[in-house]
Every structure is written in structure tokens, then in C-alpha cells.
């Protein structure tokens, strides 16, 4: 069947449509990568929605002057390799030649491991993540991201200038036999890193909880008084703050966290959809600490493939608990980021460098305060420092675990 299309220059052309392939117009638009906001759908000349079935009397008006056929099928330069297991794509804009090209590189196992490790090491170098003669704290939960981070630091220890590394892991309670926790204990031994296990007593004390942290944790997991987002937030914030407190006791203020590309881009999206002030990425100054994110240019999938190929002995982590999965909104942000990488591969390079500039303008606006319960550094947007508490402590208070 032939569907007639008028473009914004009033030129008429047609698409030959296999009606067995699509039942409604929206599916056809999706197939040809045409956003519905670019098209007015008409049936017999009258405007209808894109959810109508495809029939002979359907026509499409494209309402902007975009060269859709070209934009939807950008040229791809593919570097082929035998036995490829992964494709790394980057989109490049050549404004002088008025041309956009997607560069795709097929990678076999060896290429993949090299590219992964080099991206990690380049990020450390480019952002000066290992300051000379300074101690580094590495948050090591035993999950895939933090395990990859610790393994590469260990493998390239000399190349990184023999940094003084201490890893930090939260004590497992009843989890000592589990793989995730076992990895967190084994890896520091393997590389002779200093290792600190943060105990649940230390958490109880640091957050001034009126019950043992094990009990508090159990209740947070079970309670219906908290949203999924609050549950994820309080657990994540507790872990992060405990790494800070323990590291500061060891005189360590440079902290490595294993947030990957999607995790960090989600934060960028959150800044732009809430308007809250934010610190830069992938190096984040949260006085008196500096956080470093060396996995900033690597995705969750790349981390998983890397471990599978390079360190298959560390891939059997226990499944995430539901409380770690976040709200639907947070999950949507992650999916949105992955969709974005699909539409514009390599956008993270542009976005993170732009974000660095933008957050530099914000820097002067940021007033720092401290949480009155746990001492965590806060961006104060309220101008009321008297009652200030971090998000995590507010939740502990809401549940009656602190005064
Ligand atoms: Zn707090």
C-alpha cells in the first residue's frame, strides 16, 4: 500500500507500506524513526491521531523542514573484526562539512578488555583522579561495578603510580557466606590493599540510631511507610556517609565510587528536571571530600561483559534486593539514559564536559551545610540551617529511629 507524504516544502512523495508489518500509523512512524510530533496524520484529508489503522486514505504532513530520510539513516563507518562480541559507537558532528557520521567499532574479546581498561585509565588520567602522595579510599561493596573498579586499580597499580589504597566495605550480617561479600573481602587481599570493614555498631553510632542498625535495616526493608525511592535513598546515603566517616578517621578525603555512565547521567537529568544545585562530574568536590567516578564513561552492560571476560570468578553476585532498585521514576531515568545513548552514541562526552562548565557557574551559588545528625555535607537551598538534616536522616527521623 502507498502512503502519501507531503514535506514542509510541499513536495509530495510516498512510502510503500507492507500492511502486514504495521497495524497502526504510529508503528509505521516508529519503524522509519519519525517522531510523531513532526507529523500530522490525515485520513481523507481530516486530522486524526497516529493510533488509527493504516488504510489507503491515510496521508502524512511533515511539518518541519528536516531531511528525515537522511537524519534517520545517518552514515555508519564500521570497523569490522572477526568474532566480535560488542559494538562501540560514537556519533561525530562535522559542522564544516555539514555532516554527521556514526563510527562503529566491532570488538572481539581481547579488543573489548583493552578498550574497557583504557577508557577507565584514561578517565583517571584526564581528570587527575589520583593526586600524588595522597591516600585514596575505594568504596567496595562487592557488586559488579565496584569489583571492576578495584580489579583494574589493582591490575594497573604501578602504572597509576603506586597509590596508597584503602578499600571500605560495610559489614555483612548473615551475609558472610555470600559471594558479593566474599569478593569484597578477597580482592583487597589479592592486591595487598588496606581494607576496612565498617561494622553495624559503627553505623548505629554514627547515625545516633536508637536501635541496632541490623534491626533498623530490617524494618526499612519491610515498612510500608516509605516509598521505594526513600528506601533506596536512606540505604545508599547511609553507605556513602559511612565510607566518608571511616575514611576521614584514616585521614582519607579522596574517595572512589563505582557509579557508571547511566548512574551519573541520571543525576544530570535529575538536576535539569528538578532545578536543584549540583556539583560537577565525574570529579565531585563535596568538601572536605572529593568523590571520583572512574567508571563515568562505561555502561552497566560494559561492566558486566568486562567481568565475564576478564574475571569470570567474580560474576556470581547475589541478586539485588528490591530495596536497592529505586522508584519507578529512578528506573525510568536509567532507561531514558540508555535510550538516549542509542539515539546519540557518545553523548556522555559532550554532556559531562558541559555539565562541568555549568556546575562551575553554580559553584558560587552553593551554600554548604552539615546534617545535624550525621554530619554529612549538604547543599543548603533552604536558608534555614537550624533544622537541616540530610535526606537519609530525615527518613530515620520519620520512622522514629532518631530524635
Ligand atoms: Zn544525615
Does 359 lie in the same domain as 390?
A: yes
Q: What is the mean pLDDT of residues 41-56?
A: 96
- Note whether 193 and 117 are same-domain residues: yes
The answer to whether residues 24 and 128 belong to one domain is no
Taking the centre of ligand 1 as the mean of its atom positions, its distance from the CA of residue 195, in whole angstroms, is: 25
| Same domain membership, residue 289 and residue 184 | yes
Q: How many beta carbons lie within 10 A of that of residue 106, not counting itself?
A: 17
**Domain check: are 144 and 277 in the same one?**
yes
pLDDT in tens, 172-183: 877 777 899 999
Q: Contact 29/54 with Cβ under 8 angstroms?
A: no
Whether 403 is in a domain gets the answer: no
377 CA distance to ligand 1 middle (Å): 8
Percent over 70 (pLDDT), the chain? 99
Answer yes or no: do 234 and 89 share one domain. no
Cell numbers standing for residue 391: 535526606
Residue position matching grid coordinates 574475571? 311
Residue that is written with C-alpha cell 559553584 in the block: 363
Same domain for 386 and 364? Answer: yes
The 10s digit of each residue's pLDDT in 200-259 is 999 999 999 999 999 999 999 999 999 988 999 999 999 999 999 999 999 999 999 999
CA of 374 to the centre of ligand 1 (A): 4
pLDDT in tens, 57-68: 999 999 998 888
Q: Which residues lie near ion ligand 1 (Cβ < 5 Å)?
A: 371, 373-374, 376, 390, 393
- Whether residues 139 and 21 fall in one domain: no
135 C-alpha to ligand 1 centroid (Å): 25
Rounded to the nearest angstrom, the distance between the alpha carbon of 77 and the centre of ligand 1 is 50
Same domain? 43 vs 127: no
* CATH classification of the domain holding 332: 3.40.50.620
Residues 184 and 90 in one domain: no
Residue 378 Cα to ligand 1 midpoint, Å, equals: 9
**DSSP output for 179-228:** HHHHHHHHHHHHHT-EEEEEPHHHHHHHTT-SS-HHHHHHHHHH-SSS-H
Report the mean per-residue pLDDT for the chain. Answer: 93
Instruction: Tell whether the model's pLDDT for residue 103 goes beyond 80.
Output: yes
Q: What is the mean predicted confidence (pLDDT) over 293-306?
A: 98
**Alpha helices, H only, 22-108:** 25-31, 68-72
Last residue of a domain, one of 61, 92, 107: 107
Confidence grade of residue 13 (pLDDT, cut at 50, 70, 90): confident
Q: How far is the CA of 375 from the centre of ligand 1 (A)?
A: 6
Same domain, 68 and 81: no
Residue 273 covered by a domain: yes
Per residue in 314-325, pLDDT tens? 999 988 777 777
> How many angstroms does the Cα of residue 230 sit away from the middle of ligand 1?
14
172 inside domain: yes
Percent of the chain clearing pLDDT 90 (strictly above): 77
Which is more confidently placed, 334 or 384? 334
Instruction: Please check whether residue 342 lies inside any domain of the structure.
Output: yes
Within-domain flag for 223: yes
3-state secondary structure 103-150: EEEEECHHHHHHHHHHHHHHHHHHCCCCCCCCEEEEECCCCHHHHHHH
Q: Ligand 1 mean position to 358 CA, how many Å? A: 27
CA of 239 to the centre of ligand 1 (A): 11
- Residue 276 is predicted with a pLDDT of 83
The CATH number given to whatever domain includes residue 61 is 3.10.20
Q: Which residues contact 84 (CB under 8 A, 6 or more apart)?
A: 106, 107, 108
- Does any domain span residue 170? yes
What pLDDT does residue 385 have? 60
Task: Establish if 267 belongs to a structural domain.
Answer: yes
Let me know whether 235 and 91 are in one domain.
Answer: no
Q: Cα of 110 to ligand 1 centre, how many Å?
A: 45
Q: Which structural domain, as residue segments, surrounds residue 86? A: 76-107
Amino acid at each position: 500500500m502507498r502512503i502519501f507524504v507531503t514535506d514542509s516544502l510541499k513536495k509530495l512523495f510516498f512510502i510503500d507500506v507492507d500492511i502486514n508489518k504495521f497495524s497502526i500509523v504510529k508503528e509505521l512512524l516508529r519503524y522509519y524513526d519519525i517522531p510523531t510530533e513532526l507529523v500530522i496524520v490525515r485520513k481523507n484529508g481530516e486530522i486524526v491521531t497516529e493510533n488509527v489503522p493504516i488504510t489507503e486514505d491515510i496521508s502524512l504532513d511533515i511539518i518541519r523542514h528536516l531531511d528525515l530520510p537522511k537524519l534517520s539513516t545517518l552514515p555508519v563507518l564500521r570497523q569490522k573484526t572477526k568474532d566480535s562480541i560488542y559494538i562501540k559507537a560514537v556519533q561525530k558532528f562535522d559542522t564544516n562539512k555539514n555532516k554527521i557520521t556514526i563510527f562503529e567499532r566491532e570488538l572481539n574479546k581481547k579488543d573489548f578488555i583493552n578498550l574497557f581498561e583504557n577508557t577507565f585509565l584514561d578517565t583517571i588520567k584526564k581528570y587527575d583522579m589520583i593526586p600524588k602522595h595522597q591516600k585514596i579510599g575505594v568504596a567496595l561493596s562487592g557488586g559488579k561495578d565496584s569489583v571492576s573498579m578495584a580489579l583494574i586499580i589493582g591490575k594497573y597499580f604501578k602504572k597509576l603510580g603506586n597509590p596508597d589504597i584503602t578499600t571500605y566495605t560495610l559489614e555483612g550480617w548473615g551475609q558472610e557466606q555470600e559471594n558479593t561479600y566474599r569478593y569484597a573481602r578477597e580482592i583487597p587481599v589479592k592486591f595487598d590493599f588496606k581494607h576496612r570493614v565498617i561494622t553495624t555498631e559503627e553505623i548505629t553510632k554514627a547515625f545516633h540510631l536508637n536501635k541496632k542498625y541490623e534491626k533498623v535495616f530490617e524494618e526499612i526493608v519491610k515498612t510500608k511507610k516509605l516509598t521505594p525511592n526513600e528506601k533506596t535513598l536512606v540505604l545508599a546515603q547511609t553507605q556513602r556517609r559511612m565510607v566518608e566517616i571511616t575514611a576521614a578517621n584514616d585521614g582519607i578525603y579522596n574517595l572512589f565510587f563505582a557509579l557508571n555512565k547511566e548512574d551519573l547521567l541520571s543525576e544530570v537529568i535529575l538536576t535539569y528536571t528538578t532545578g536543584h544545585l549540583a556539583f560537577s562530574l565525574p570529579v565531585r568536590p563535596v568538601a572536605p571530600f572529593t568523590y571520583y567516578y572512574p567508571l563515568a564513561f562505561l555502561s552497566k552492560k560494559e561492566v558486566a561483559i568486562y567481568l565475564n571476560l576478564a574475571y569470570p570468578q567474580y560474576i556470581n553476585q547475589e541478586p539485588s534486593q528490591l530495596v536497592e532498585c529505586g522508584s519507578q521514576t529512578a528506573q525510568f531515568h536509567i532507561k531514558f539514559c540508555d535510550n538516549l545513548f542509542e539515539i546519540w552514541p557518545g553523548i556522555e562526552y559532550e554532556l559531562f564536559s558541559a555539565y562541568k562548565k555549568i556546575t562551575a557557574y553554580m559553584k558560587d551559588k552553593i551554600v554548604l551545610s552539615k546534617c545535624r545528625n550525621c554530619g554529612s555535607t549538604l547543599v543548603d537551598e533552604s536558608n534555614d540551617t537550624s533544622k537541616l538534616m540530610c535526606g537519609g536522616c530525615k527518613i530515620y527521623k520519620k520512622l522514629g529511629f532518631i530524635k
